[in-house]
C-alpha cells in the first residue's frame, strides 16, 4: 500500500488529467479544486490545457492544491499525480513525462497496479465499470470523471470525500447528483494501490 | 462569500453586481463566455438590464455609447480582434466622456490565428482615452470591474474604463475569490449620476462639428481628467481596502524596499513573478516586483527604482516592448525582456533566469535572442 501524499507546510500538489474530449477531464479538475477548497486549502486552481479541444480528441486538464494562495500561472510540467481517464491515450501520449519520482499515476482500468511499469507509483480503479454500475451515461457512453476524482481523493491527505460530495451537489442536480455520489464513494473504496 | 470560478464567469458576475442598465454584445468568436453567462442571468431574471445582441463589436460599443449618453450604466465584453474592430468607437467613447465599462480578454492578434494570451490587443488601444486596468487573479478581475465603474463615473473623471485579463491563463482558470454581498457592493457603488444626458424633453446636440480651438480644449480636458484619475484610482482603491480588506493603488509593490533589482510587469505574468521573487529572495538575491494595475493613466510616480527589469508580453514592432518604452522617459537603469508573446508559457524559472541575465547586463527577446 502506497502512502498518501502528506500535507506539509510546502504542500503544493500539481495534478494532470488526461482524457478525451467529452469524458469530462476539465470537469474532473474543477470538481477536485472545489473539493480541495472546501477541505480547507486556500490555494486551488483548475484549468484546461490551453488548446482547441473537440469530442474524442486527447484532452488535458490541470489542478493545483496548496494551503496558501497559488500565484503560479504557468503550465504544469512536473506533476505529482497524473490521472488517466482513458488508457488508450497512453498509445499516443507519454503520460509519464515530467512526473515526479514519488508521484502517482492513477489509471482507469480493471487491471492491477503491478501490471504496469512506470517510473513512479501506480494506482488503479475500474471507473468504467463503476460508471456503468451507477448508470452514469451520456449518449450510452459511461462517463468516468467523477469516479476518477473519487479514487483520486483517497490518494490525497488534504482533500476529503465529504467535500467532494459537496462539490458534486453543487454541480449536478437530483438523480444525476445521487448517482455520481454513489460512484464517487464506490471508487474511493475500490481504488487499488 | 468565498466562491471558485473561472475568470470569465467572475467578470460576468462582477458586471451583474454593478447593475448595468444596458449591455450590448456581439456573441460570436472572438467573444468569450462572459456575455453567454450574462445572457443566462438575464434569462433567469437575475439581472434587470436591456441586453442587446448586435451584429459586430463596433456596434456593441456604439450601442453602449448611445445608451450611456441617455444616462444609464452600460457594460460590454470582448477580446482581441473584437476589441480592434471597436477601435473607432473607443475614441468616440473617450472623447464623449462617457463612462462605459468593458472587460477585454487579452488574446493574440492574427494572423497566425492564435487564441492565447498576449497584451497587444489592449495595449494598441492605449491612446483612445480609456482608463486601462489589468488583473493578475480572478479576485482582481472582480475587484477591478466594480472599482472601474466608480472611477469612470466620478464627476471629475467621466472617462470609459477597460478591465483586461489574460486569455486562458485567467479566463479559463478556476480560482477561489471573495465575493462581497450585493448590499455592500450597492453601498460602495451608488447609482450612476451622468455628467450630461440625451433627453427628448430637453433636446441638445452632441458630437457636432467643433472648430479647432474648442476641439483642442476637449482634448486638454481629457488629459487633465486622465491625470486626475491617478488620485481617484488611489482613493477608490483605498476605500475598497477599508470596506473589503483588499486595498488597491495604481501599482502593487512586492518586496521592493531594499531590492537591488525590481521586476516591472503586469497581468498574469506579475503573479508568476511573485513566485520568482520569493525564490530569488530565498537564494539571497534582493529581488522586488511592481505589478502595473493601470497602464492608462500610466503610474509614472510609482516607478522610482533603479535596475528595473521590465517584462513585456507585447511588442511595438520597430520600437520594442511597449511598457519598457513607456517607462524610458524615467531616468533609471532598466532592462527590457519581451516574453510570452502569443501565449508562450513563462514560468517563474524563466523569470529567475531573466534576473540573472539582467545582472550580466543582458536583455532582449526571451529566450529567442538575449544579448
For residue range B10-53, list pLDDT tens digits in order: 999 999 999 999 999 999 888 899 999 999 999 999 999 999 99
Task: Name the residue among B170, B174, B271 with its Cβ closest to that of A30.
Answer: B174
Inter-chain CB proximity B272 and A42 less than 8 Å? no
CA distance B272 to chain A (A): 5
Pick the residue from chain B with its C-alpha nearest to A52.
B115
Q: Which long-range contacts (CB under 8 A, 24 or more apart) does B355-360 make?
A: B355/B261, B355/B263, B355/B276, B355/B280, B355/B285, B355/B287, B355/B309, B358/B261, B358/B307, B358/B309, B359/B261
In the predicted model, is pLDDT for residue A53 greater than 80? Answer: no
| pLDDT value at A177 more than 80 | yes
- Give the angle B2-B7-B8 at the CA atoms, nearest 5°: 120
The full set of domains in chain B, from first to last, is 2-244 (3.40.50.970), 251-370 (3.40.50.920)
- DSSP 8-state secondary structure symbol assigned to residue A75: P
Q: What pLDDT is recorded for position A23? A: 85
Mean pLDDT of chain A: 92
Interface residue of B112, B119, B174 to substitute, partner A, most A CBs within 10 Å: B174
Q: Does A70 touch chain B (CB under 8 A)?
A: yes
The whole-angstrom distance between B147's CA and the closest CA on chain A is 22
Residue A10 touches chain B, beta carbons under 8 Å: no
Nearest-CA neighbor of B114 among B162, B163, B77, B81?
B81
Asked if the model's pLDDT at residue B250 lies above 60, the reply is yes
The answer to whether A52 contacts chain B (CB < 8 Å) is yes
Say whether pLDDT at B124 is over 50: yes
Burial zone of B262 (CB within 10 Å; 0-12 exposed, 13-18 middle, 19+ buried): buried
Q: Give the per-residue SS3 of chain B.
A: CEEEEEHHHHHHHHHHHCCCCEEEECCCCCCCHHHHHHHHHHHCCCCCCEEEECCCHHHHHHHHHHHHHCCCCEEEEEEHHHHHHCHHHHHHHHHCCCCCEEEEEECCCCCCCCCCCCCHHHHCCCCCCCEEEECCCHHHHHHHHHHHHHHHCCCCCCCCEEEEEECCCCCCCEEEEECCCHHHHHHHCCCCCCCCCCCCCCCCCCCCCCCHHHHHHHHHHHHHHHHHHHHHHHHHHHHHHHHHCCCCCCEEEECCCCCCEEEEECHHHHHHHHHHHHHHHHCCCCEEEEEECEEECCCHHHCCCCCEEEEECCCECCCECHHHHHHCCCCCCEEEEECCHHHCCCCHHHHHHHHHHHHCCCCEECCCEEC
The average pLDDT across A25-45 equals 96
Residues of B in contact with A70 (CB under 8 A): 175
CB under 8 Å to B240, separation ≥6 — which residues?
Answer: B143, B146, B147, B188, B246, B247, B248
Cα(A15)–Cα(A152) distance, rounded to whole angstroms? 10
B348 contacts on A by Cβ (under 8 Å): 72, 74
Partner B contacted by A170 (CB < 8 A): no
Among the partner-chain residues B115, B176, B274, the one whose CB lies closest to the CB of A71 is B274
Query: At residue A22, does pLDDT exceed 60?
Result: yes
| Cα dist from A173 to A28, A30, A115, A166, B137, whole Å | 17, 17, 38, 12, 30
Average pLDDT of the segment spanning B268-285: 98
Q: How far apart are CA B358 and CA B364, in angstroms?
A: 10
Decide if A73 and B166 are in contact by the 8 Å CB cutoff.
Answer: yes
Three-state SS at A32: helix
Q: What is the 3-state secondary structure (H, E, C) of A135-190?
A: CCEECCEECCHHHHHHHHHCCECCCCHHHHHHHHHHHCCHHHHHHHHHHHHHHHHH
Q: What pLDDT score was predicted for residue A9?
A: 47
Nearest chain B CA: its distance from A149 CA (Å): 17
Nearest CA in chain B to A47: B173
**Sign (positive or negative) of CA dihedral B162, B166, B168, B174:** negative
**Rounded to whole angstroms, how far apart are CA atoms B233 and B208?**
31
Distances (CA, A) of B104 to A84, B137, B315, B324: 35, 14, 18, 22
Any B CB within 8 A of A22 CB: no
Is a pLDDT exceeding 50 seen at residue A8?
no
**Percent of chain B topping pLDDT 90:** 96
When CB atoms are compared, the residue of A45, A70, A75 closest to B345 is: A75
Interval B142-199: pLDDT, tens: 999 999 999 999 999 999 999 999 999 999 999 999 999 999 999 999 999 998 999 9
- What is the nearest CA distance from A153 to chain B, expressed in angstroms? 19
Give the domains, in start order, of chain A with CATH numbers. 13-190 (3.40.920.10)
CA B333 vs. chain centroid, Å, equals: 27
Residue of A nearest to B340 (CA): A74
User: Measured between beta carbons, which residues in chain B are less than 8 angstroms from residue A29?
Assistant: 174
Express each pLDDT in B305-315 by its tens digit.
Answer: 999 999 999 99
Instruction: Report how far residue B141's alpha carbon sits from residue B12's, in angstroms, rounded to the nearest whole number.
Output: 10
A74–B116: do the CB atoms touch at under 8 Å? no
Mean pLDDT of all residues belonging to chain B = 97
Amino acid at each position: 500500500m502506497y502512502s498518501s501524499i502528506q500535507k506539509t507546510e510546502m504542500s503544493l500538489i500539481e495534478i494532470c488529467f488526461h482524457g478525451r474530449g467529452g469524458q469530462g477531464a476539465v470537469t474532473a479538475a474543477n470538481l477536485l479544486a472545489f473539493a480541495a477548497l472546501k477541505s480547507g486549502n486556500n490555494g486551488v486552481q483548475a484549468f484546461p490545457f490551453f488548446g482547441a479541444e473537440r469530442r474524442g480528441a486527447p484532452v488535458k486538464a490541470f489542478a493545483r492544491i496548496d494551503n496558501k494562495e497559488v500565484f503560479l500561472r504557468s503550465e504544469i510540467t512536473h506533476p505529482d499525480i497524473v490521472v488517466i481517464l482513458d488508457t488508450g491515450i497512453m498509445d499516443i501520449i507519454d503520460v509519464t513525462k515530467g512526473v515526479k519520482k514519488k508521484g502517482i499515476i492513477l489509471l482507469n482500468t480493471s487491471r492491477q497496479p503491478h501490471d504496469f511499469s512506470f517510473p513512479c507509483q501506480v494506482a488503479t480503479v475500474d471507473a468504467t465499470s463503476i460508471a456503468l454500475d451507477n448508470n452514469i451515461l451520456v449518449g450510452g457512453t459511461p462517463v468516468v470523471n467523477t469516479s476518477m476524482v473519487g479514487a483520486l481523493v483517497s490518494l490525497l491527505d488534504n482533500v476529503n470525500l465529504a467535500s467532494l460530495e459537496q462539490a458534486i451537489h453543487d454541480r449536478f442536480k437530483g438523480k444525476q447528483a445521487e448517482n455520481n455520489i454513489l460512484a464517487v464513494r464506490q471508487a474511493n473504496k475500490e481504488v487499488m494501490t | 462569500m468565498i466562491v471558485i470560478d473561472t475568470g470569465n464567469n467572475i467578470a460576468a458576475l462582477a458586471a451583474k453586481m454593478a447593475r448595468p442598465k444596458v449591455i450590448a454584445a456581439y456573441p460570436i468568436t472572438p467573444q468569450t463566455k462572459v456575455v453567454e453567462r450574462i445572457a443566462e442571468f438575464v434569462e433567469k431574471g437575475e439581472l434587470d438590464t436591456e441586453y442587446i445582441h448586435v451584429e459586430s463589436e463596433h456596434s456593441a460599443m456604439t450601442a453602449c455609447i448611445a445608451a450611456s449618453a441617455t444616462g444609464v450604466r452600460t457594460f460590454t465584453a470582448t477580446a482581441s480582434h473584437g476589441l480592434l474592430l471597436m477601435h473607432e468607437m473607443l475614441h468616440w467613447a473617450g472623447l464623449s466622456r462617457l463612462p462605459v465599462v468593458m472587460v477585454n480578454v487579452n488574446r493574440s492578434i492574427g494572423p497566425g490565428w492564435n487564441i492565447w494570451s498576449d497584451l497587444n490587443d489592449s495595449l494598441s488601444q492605449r491612446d483612445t482615452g480609456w482608463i486601462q486596468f489589468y488583473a493578475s487573479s480572478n479576485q482582481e478581475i472582480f475587484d477591478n470591474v466594480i472599482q472601474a465603474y466608480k472611477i469612470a463615473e466620478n464627476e471629475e473623471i467621466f472617462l470609459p474604463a477597460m478591465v483586461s485579463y489574460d486569455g486562458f491563463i485567467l479566463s479559463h482558470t478556476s480560482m477561489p475569490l471573495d465575493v462581497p454581498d450585493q448590499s455592500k457592493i450597492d453601498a460602495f457603488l451608488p447609482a450612476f449620476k451622468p455628467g450630461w444626458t440625451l433627453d427628448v424633453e430637453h433636446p441638445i446636440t452632441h458630437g457636432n462639428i467643433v472648430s479647432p480651438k474648442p476641439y483642442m480644449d476637449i482634448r486638454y480636458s481629457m488629459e487633465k481628467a486622465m491625470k486626475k484619475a491617478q488620485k481617484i484610482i488611489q482613493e477608490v482603491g483605498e476605500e475598497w481596502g477599508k470596506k473589503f480588506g483588499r486595498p488597491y493603488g495604481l501599482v502593487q509593490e512586492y518586496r521592493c524596499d531594499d531590492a537591488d533589482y525590481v521586476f516591472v510587469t503586469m497581468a498574469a505574468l506579475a503573479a508568476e513573478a511573485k513566485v520568482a521573487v520569493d525564490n530569488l529572495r530565498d537564494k539571497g538575491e534582493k529581488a522586488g516586483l511592481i505589478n502595473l494595475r493601470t497602464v492608462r493613466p500610466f503610474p509614472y510616480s510609482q516607478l522610482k527604482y533603479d535596475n528595473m527589469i521590465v517584462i513585456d508580453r507585447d511588442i511595438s514592432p520597430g520600437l520594442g516592448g511597449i511598457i519598457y518604452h513607456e517607462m524610458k522617459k524615467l531616468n533609471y537603469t532598466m532592462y527590457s525582456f519581451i516574453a510570452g508573446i502569443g501565449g508562450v508559457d513563462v514560468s517563474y524559472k524563466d523569470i529567475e533566469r531573466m534576473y540573472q541575465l539582467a545582472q550580466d547586463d543582458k536583455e532582449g527577446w526571451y529566450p529567442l535572442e538575449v544579448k
